[in-house]
Structure 1
Amino acid sequence: MFIPVKYLLMEAKAKKLLSKVPEITIYFWIIKILCTTVGETAADYLNMTLGFGLTNTTYFMGAILIAMLVWQFRLRKYVPTVYWLVVVLLSIVGTLITDNLTDRMGVPLIYSTIGFSVALAVTFYAWYKSEGTLSIHSINTFKREAYYWLTILFTFALGTASGDLIAEQFGVGYFASIILFAALIGVITLAHYKFRLNSVLAFWLAYILTRPLGASIGDFMSQPNDAGGLGLGTIVTSVIFLVAIVILVIYLTITRADAPKGVKAEV
C-alpha cells in the first residue's frame, strides 16, 4: 500500500518529539545508584556463587541486554520498566567487561581505567560532533539514543575499574571509597547550584561517579568482614537492592513522577 511521503515525515517528526529518557529527579539518582550496586553484586553472584564463570555469564547477560535494547529502541516514548531494566543490565554487563579484562586477560586496573576513560571521551566527542549537544533532554532520535546507551555502558565499565582500583588496589577500602565518591558528587552538586557549573557537564560527571559509588556500596555490603565488608553476601545484597528498584519503578509507573514533560509513562 502506498503511503504519502508527507505522512511518513509527520510520523518521523512525531517520533522525534517523544523523549526516551526520564526527567532528572531525586528518584533518578536513587534508582541509578541502586542499579549500579546490583550490577556489582549480581555479576559476582552469577559468576562466582552460581559458578557460571565469567565467559558464560558474559554471554548470557549480553544476550539478554541485546534483547532488551531492541525492545527499548522500538518504543516511542519513555517506559520506566523497560528503561530501568536496560540500565540494570548495562550495569551488570559493564561490570563483566571489566572483570573479563582484569581476571581473564590480566589487564591491570590502571590500564582499563585509562582505556575506558579514553573510550568514554571519544564517545562524548563523537556524540557532540554529530548532534551538537550532550543533553539527555535531547534523546529523541535513534542516533542520539544509541550514543546515550553506549555512553552509559562505558560509564559502568569505567566505574567498575576505577572503583576496584581505588578501593582494592590502592587499599583505600570499601567504606572509605563510599565516602570519597559521595563527597565528589557533593562537590559537583554544590558547584552546579552555587557556582553555576554547566548542567550537562555536572550531570555527566555525577553520573560517572555514581558507578564507583554504587560498586563500593555493593562490595561493602556483600564482602566478608575480613575483607572490610558487612558480610551480607551477594544474594542478600542483590535482593535488597532489586526489591528497592522494583518498588520505586512501580511507583514511578503509577505516578508518572519522572515522565518527560508532555509525555505519559507506560507500563
Structure 2
Amino acid sequence: MHKPIPGSVYQTSDFQTKVPEITIYFWIVKLLTTAMGEATSDFLVYHMNPFIAIALGGIALVISLILQFSVRRYVTWIYWLVVVMVSIFGTMAADAAHVGLGVPYFASTTFFALVLILVFIIWHRSEKTLSIHSIYTKRREAFYWCAVLATFALGTAAGDMTATTIHLGYFTSGVLFAVLFAIPGLCYWLFGLNEIFAFWFAYILTRPVGASFADWVSVSHQSGGLGLGKGVVSLGLTIAIVIVVGYMAMTRKGVQDVSVASKAR
C-alpha cells in the first residue's frame, strides 16, 4: 500500500480514481477519439495557418487539463474532453516534427517511444506502480496524462510510418495495428499476461488503429482512401463521441466504485 503524498492527495472521504473503469465503452470511445483527433488535426492544419492551429490546440489542451485537475473525481465529459484535446494536439505535435522540421517518421517514432519509456520509468520509480486504478493524487495524474500524450504522438508517428514510409497504405496499416491491438487482450485473458502491461500496450496501439482508418476513409482515391474528406469524417466522429460519452454520463458507465478503486492504493 502506498502512503498518500502530502499536498497532492485528495481527501480520503472524497477518494475516487480520476480515470474510468476499463470497459468496452472505454475502448470504443478511445478508438473514436484517436480517429477524430487525426481527422480534426489534419483539417485544422490544412484550412488555417498551421502555427495558429497548433497554438489553439495547445491552449484548448491546457484548458481541458485545468478542468480535469480541478475536480476530485472522474467526471465523464471532462475526462473525455481531455482525451480528445490530447488526441488533436498529439497529432499536431507528431505531424509538426515531420512536416515542419523534416524529421523522418522512423526517427519521430523512435523519439516518442523513448519519451514514453522515460515517462514510465520516472513514474514507476516515483510511485512504484503504473496502474491507472491508482490515479488518486495530482502527481500520479500528471504522470498519467504525460504518458497519454506521449502515446498519442507515438501512435501517430508509427501509423504514418507504416502507411507512407513502409508503403503499406492506410487501410493495410489499420488492419495491421488492429491485429496487434487485439493481441495483449487475448494474452491477458488466455495466458494471464500482466494486466498493466497489457493495458498500456493496447492503449498505445489504439492511436495508429483509429488514425489509420480515419485517414483511409478521408483521403482521396488517388491516395488510396475513400475520399470522404477530413471535415466530414471529423464531424461524424465528433457526433459519435458526443453520443457515446453522453450515454456513459447518463448511465454512469465507467464510474468506478470507491471500494473497488481503493484496492489499487
SS in 2 for 1:18: coil
2:57 to 51, 61, 84: 61
Q: What residue is the counterpart of 1:34 in the other structure?
A: 32
Matched, 1:252 2:251: no
Q: What residue is the counterpart of 2:263 in the other structure?
A: none
Alignment CA distance shift 1:9-1:46 (3 Å): closer
1:114 to 110, 128, 135: 110
Alignment CA distance shift 1:191-1:55 (3 Å): same
TM-score normalised according to structure 2 size: 0.93
SS in 1 for 2:11: helix
Q: What residue is the counterpart of 1:76 in the other structure?
A: 72
Structure 1 unaligned spans of 5+ = 1-7
CA RMSD of aligned residues (A): 1.5
Matched, 1:129 2:152: no
Distance 1:200 1:10 in 2: 22
Contact 2:8-2:137 within 8 A present in 1 as well: no
Distance 2:103 2:50 in 1: 15
TM-score normalised according to structure 1 size: 0.92
Q: What residue is the counterpart of 2:4 in the other structure?
A: none
Q: What residue is the counterpart of 2:187 in the other structure?
A: 191
Matched, 1:95 2:91: yes
Written as runs of structure 1 = structure 2, the 5 A alignment for 1:201-220 is 201-220=197-216
Distance 1:144 1:14 in 2: 19
SS in 2 for 1:229: coil
1:200 to 196, 201, 209: 196
Structure 1 residues 217-264: Cα deviation after superposition (integer angstroms, max 9, x where no partner): 11011000110111000111011111110001110111001101139x
Distance 2:185 2:201 in 1: 10
SS in 1 for 2:144: helix
Query: CA offset at residue 10 of structure 1?
Result: 10
Alignment CA distance shift 1:198-1:88 (3 Å): same
Structure 1 residues 34-69: Cα deviation after superposition (integer angstroms, max 9, x where no partner): 000011000011110x2x232111101101110110
Alignment CA distance shift 1:10-1:85 (3 Å): closer
Contact 2:9-2:137 within 8 A present in 1 as well: no
| Greater mean alpha carbon deviation, residues 118-127 or residues 182-191 | 182-191
What letter is aligned with 1:44? Answer: D
Alignment CA distance shift 1:201-1:10 (3 Å): closer
Distance 2:82 2:199 in 1: 19
Aligned residues with identical type, % of pairs: 45
Query: CA offset at residue 9 of structure 1?
Result: 11
Distance 1:9 1:150 in 2: 17
SS in 1 for 2:56: helix
Distance 2:76 2:147 in 1: 19
Bigger-Rg structure (1/2): 1
What letter is aligned with 1:38? Answer: M
Q: What residue is the counterpart of 2:3 in the other structure?
A: none
Q: What residue is the counterpart of 1:14 in the other structure?
A: 13
SS in 2 for 1:257: coil
1:23 to 17, 21, 24: 21
What letter is aligned with 1:244? Answer: A
Structure 1 residues 45-101: Cα deviation after superposition (integer angstroms, max 9, x where no partner): 1110x2x23211110110111011011001010111111010000000000001111
What letter is aligned with 1:193? Answer: W
Structure 1 ranges of 4+ moved more than 4 A:
8-11
Alignment CA distance shift 1:59-1:138 (3 Å): same
Q: What residue is the counterpart of 2:149 in the other structure?
A: 153
Distance 2:162 2:70 in 1: 39
Structure 2 unaligned spans of 5+ = 1-6, 260-265
